[in-house]
Amino acid sequence: MKALFLLSLLSFTVCFSQNQDSLKLKIDYGVASEEFQDYLLMKNIDFYKVNISNKNLKGKTFTLVSKEYWNKKLTKIDTIINLKNHPRRIESDTLSFNIITEKVSNDSLQLFVKFKGLLSINRKYKTTETNSYSARDLSNGNETNFQLGKSFPLLVYTLPYKDPKYPGYLFYCELTKEGIPPEEWGDKFNLEHYIIFEMQFE
């Protein structure tokens, strides 16, 4: 009986600890105005609103990293921001920010990220000359959970999957529907180029 009690207590402690370290992530696509959303679609601009929450988030730091894949190989890792090197810290149990991606020239992506109450960032990346890129949310709009201290994919700016059975068609949802890690997309979907954006909180 004592052993059973200790086992139950241990299980509760583990679950409680996991809940303490679990980040809630919610990503929403688009803007409230239908007319402005139509304009964004015409310009091939993707707009995402991101909310990350945890009751112990206040005072934490984070990193935002990009990983570029060309012809199925990881070619570059870049730290976009490391909050440890910034004078400010997260000031509440929720971090909200917007992400905007736009192909600003034949072979260039512009990334804009605005962390509310903290800072904003602009970055540019080389792309192919096609206009069929899209920023994909791996959670498909659902609330998901990640652990403090572990990196997780936020968005992927990617070319679509082209199924040889259906020439001329572009498949975007196919990339995320089976939960395949984005690191494997190049091999799985024969993608020439894509960029993974990852975060980690500590």
**Domains of the chain: which residue ranges?**
37-201
Tokens of 46: 């993707």
Mean pLDDT (whole number) for 141-169 = 95
158 Cβ partners below 8 Å, 6+ apart?
133, 134, 135, 136, 175, 182, 185, 191, 193, 194, 195
Query: Which residue type occupies 40?
Result: L
In the block, tokens 């400010």 appear at 88
Nearest-angstrom CA–CA distance, 51 and 118? 14
Confidence (pLDDT) at 20: 64
Residue 19 pLDDT class (50, 70, 90 cuts): low
Mean pLDDT (whole number) for 33-60 = 94
Mean pLDDT (whole number) for 167-177 = 94
Share of the chain above pLDDT 90, in %: 82
Answer yes or no: is pLDDT of 15 > 70: no
pLDDT in tens, 66-82: 999 999 999 999 999 99
Confidence (pLDDT) at 1: 56
Q: Tell me how far apart the terminal alpha carbons of the chain are, to the nearest angstrom.
A: 39
For 7, other C-beta atoms within 10 Å of its C-beta total 10
